[in-house]
Amino acid sequence: MTFRQNAVRTVAVSAAAGVIALFANAVAAADVPPRTPGIMGDDIVQLDNSGPCNGPIHVDFETSASRPGDLSVLLTPRGTFGASPACATNIQVDWINGISPFTHTLRVPVDNGPTRVDVPTGAGVSLVNVSNFPLRALAISSYVLVP
């Protein structure tokens, strides 16, 4: 066997092992969707002065193999903003995908601490934007792969 044949076999075996490892990690991590980091991070930060109501709202995404095509958006207040009825706010979740009319919107109140929003994105890649409505805030935006 020549040096060239050994090199080709080594590269082929390495590539196959890499592909198997990549798919094994994707299957094992099916409940945690990969997402691109947004420029603004994972917190909705309010820009307006709301008196005693302040603090960011942290955003997490979850999927489950038992609920294909559904994305859960978890909203967790990190201050008084959205943590009590006196500091209630409305959150707007927008997602863009290949299902007509392509841009979808869901608005939910956040008024008593952590809130879970189930979003029917459908399977595949969606661009998900989470913002504060109607107050001005720094929103988050991420591409999410939903199984």
104 DSSP β-pair partners: 95
Please tell me whether residues 121 and 70 are part of one structural domain.
yes
In terms of domains, do 22 and 48 share one?
no
Distance, CA of 2 to CA of 4 (rounded, Å): 5
Q: What is the pLDDT of residue 120?
A: 92
Same domain? For 51 and 116 the reply is yes
Any domain includes 35: no
Q: 3-24: per-residue pLDDT in tens?
A: 667 666 765 655 555 545 545 5
The pTM score is 0.71
The strands making up 103-110's β-sheet, listed across from edge to edge, are 103-110, 89-96, 124-133, 140-146
Task: Tell me the residue range of the domain where 81 lies.
Answer: 43-146
Asked if the structure places residue 38 within a domain, the reply is no
- Residue closest to 80 by CA, chosen among 110, 42, 47: 110
Of 59, 45, 132, 36, residue with least CA distance to 91: 132
CA 6 – CA 13 distance, rounded (Å): 11
Res 8: pLDDT = 60
**What is the C-alpha to C-alpha distance for residues 104 and 99, in angstroms, rounded to an integer?**
9
Write out the two tokens for 120: 């029917």
Domain count, the chain: 2
Interval 45-76: pLDDT, tens? 888 766 788 888 999 998 888 889 999 999 99
Residue 20 counted as domain residue: yes
